[in-house]
Structure 1
């Protein structure tokens, strides 16, 4: 499988780092244009909370608009960092299944270890993750003989997905944050095995590449603390959270987030604070893009404790902002 020749169309290089620090942390994202604003917010949060580190950000992307590319370049200028955008030809992935909230871009992340084959470690980060504090402890993690480092998923997900995948003596991990030993990943032919597994039984993998990674990499995982990929803020001391993952829907940049049951006093303004430090600072909250999102937003209204108040808020937002 000649993945690089079949997938990589172009590389955009926004090189604005003016330092020569000893350590260079490589962080990767896989996005389409819809997730550019939150990815930029994630990048800003890493830079703001880790000013002593030199980052290189790698973005695997499809169909970014010119406006988005210009904003990404401005982000690189503002934070004096290097950002590389790898434009992907999705034709060779066209036979793989997708979902509304798991688009083709979910597979992009796994191509980068082939491109960065001369680097040691790669930190893959979902675009809806923000860094809340210094992350030195994460970047100092040793994987030993393991291929990846990952955080166990929620307990109900662990039980449900292990049963579906027929995995025993395995702890199901969330693939939103991965520490990847590039050499071991490539030697194990991880990407090829993941793709073949999904193609052979597409209905088996409800969570697509995440399910497949759990299946393929079982026994090759260094499990990390929840604070490095926190999904449930009630399960941890909030002061300990290093990476906060907005895994559920609606997202903080969606119109329904402030009235959803997943919005609380701790996370309500975190995302917007960091987004205001990016070229997307003046972006409006997003309306639902499809029927499924409309159902999610309706459910958010229904489950809100202050139902009438939330309806009033929602209506006023529509009148004043749209």
Structure 2
């Protein structure tokens, strides 16, 4: 077994059931790998954390639950699907121990279907973040977001991030984030993601979305772009993170996406495992 891989999640108790599915899929497809899971939260109770710790220990995952003060980002805009915890990933340089040099951040609405080690070992080329762009068929949203957020690069999705924590400690400043929130608060559609793009897109390395942040809503678009390449066999062999962006979520009875069945399969396997 090689070195442990650091993972980061930032969420409230509502997403714990889906975090467990994500971690179970991670284990099933990375059987020889041990992980350190850093969970940033504001008020998940100790009983739920104990239950989570007992489960993930069986998945070769060591849980480090870090309770964050409610004062951090207390005035930041939030919406129903995006609680205050979403901002914590941006502050990971301030919140993680000094011995943590690199971390992979993952949203909980993800399935892991291949090895994550190639992302962990990626050369960031001096950047703070690596992230994917959900370009769609025409990438028409790029121009809109460039104007809206005063950026020149593509709009990065923050659901999967490789973060150079050492560089983040030098470059990502809480006061810069607070100033951006104060200045653009009314215009932030996906609040922390918008902040990340506005402040740090210039230190973000683009990685292929088809591998590292596959938007399950856009499977037809991926197939259209490369009819002979991005078929289901290619996805099974190459894609690492299936990201169930938007609504309905795969655990919802209203979900009928191409990959919803796969999610339910892992959910059922987890129930048997527990």
Distance in 1 between the 2:142 and 2:31 partners? Answer: 36
1:215 and 2:198 equivalent? yes
After superposition, give the CA deviation of every residue in 1:104-125 in whole Å (9 maximum; x if it has no partner). Answer: 1111223332223322211111
1:83 and 2:63 equivalent? yes
TM-score, with length taken from structure 1: 0.73
1:142 and 2:123 equivalent? yes
CA drift at 1:67? 4.9
Distance in 2 between the 1:160 and 1:271 partners? Answer: 33
- Aligned runs of 1:73-222 on 2, under 5 Å? 73-114=53-94, 115-154=96-135, 155-168=139-152, 170-222=153-205
CA drift at 1:279? 5.7
Distance in 1 between the 2:159 and 2:174 partners? Answer: 16
Distance in 2 between the 1:117 and 1:152 partners? Answer: 30
User: Could you tell me which residue of structure 2 aligns to residue 27 of structure 1?
Assistant: 7
SS at match of 1:247: coil
CA drift at 1:172? 1.0
CA drift at 1:189? 2.8
SS at match of 2:270: coil
Distance in 2 between the 1:77 and 1:28 partners? Answer: 16
> How many pairs were matched up?
255
User: Could you tell me which residue of structure 1 aligns to residue 254 of structure 2?
Assistant: 256
After superposition, give the CA deviation of every residue in 1:134-179 in whole Å (9 maximum; x if it has no partner). Answer: 22322221101111111112324433322211323x1111011111
SS at match of 2:202: coil
1:275 and 2:267 equivalent? yes
Do 1:33 and 1:62's aligned partners in 2 also have CA atoms closer than 8 Å?
A: no
Q: Quick check: which has more Rg, 1 or 2?
A: 1
CA drift at 1:222? 1.1
Structure 2 residue runs without a partner (length 5+)? 224-229
Structure 1 residue runs without a partner (length 5+)? 1-20, 283-322
SS at match of 1:138: helix
Note the aligned Cα RMSD (angstroms).
2.1
